A and B are shown apart, each in its own frame.
Chain A
Amino acid sequence: AQTVTQSQPEMSVQEAETVTLSCTYDTSENNYYLFWYKQPPSRQMILVIRQEAYKQQNATENRFSVNFQKAAKSFSLKISDSQLGDTAMYFCAFVNTDKLIFGTGTRLQVFP
Chain B
Amino acid sequence: NAGVMQNPRHLVRRRGQEARLRCSPVKGHSHVYWYRQLPEEGLKFMVYLQKENIIDESGMPKERFSAEFPKEGPSILRIQQVVRGDSAAYFCASSPRDTYPNTGELFFGEGSRLTVL
Once bound together, how far apart are the Cα atoms of A33 and B105, in whole Å? 10
Are A45 and B93 closer than 8 Å at their CB atoms?
Answer: yes
Once bound together, how far apart are the Cα atoms of A51 and B11, in whole Å? 36
Interface range on chain B (Cβ under 8 Å from partner): 20 to 34
Are A43 and B45 closer than 8 Å at their CB atoms?
Answer: no
Known: A42-B110, A43-B110, A99-B33. A50 touches B104 (CB 8 A): yes
Interface string of A82-99 (1 = CB under 8 A from B): 000000000100011111
A:46-94 near B, CB below 8 Å: 46-47, 50, 91
Interface range on chain A (Cβ under 8 Å from partner): 20 to 34
Contacts of B48 in A (CB 8 A): 98-99
At the interface, is chain A mostly helix, strand, loop or mixed?
loop
Min Cβ gap A54→B in Å is 12
Of the candidates B45, B100, B101, the one having the most CB atoms from chain A within 10 angstroms of its own CB is B101
Stretch at the interface among B20-28, B36-44, B62-70, B74-82: B36-44
On A, residues with C-beta under 8 Å from B are 4, 6, 33, 35, 42-47, 50, 91, 95-105
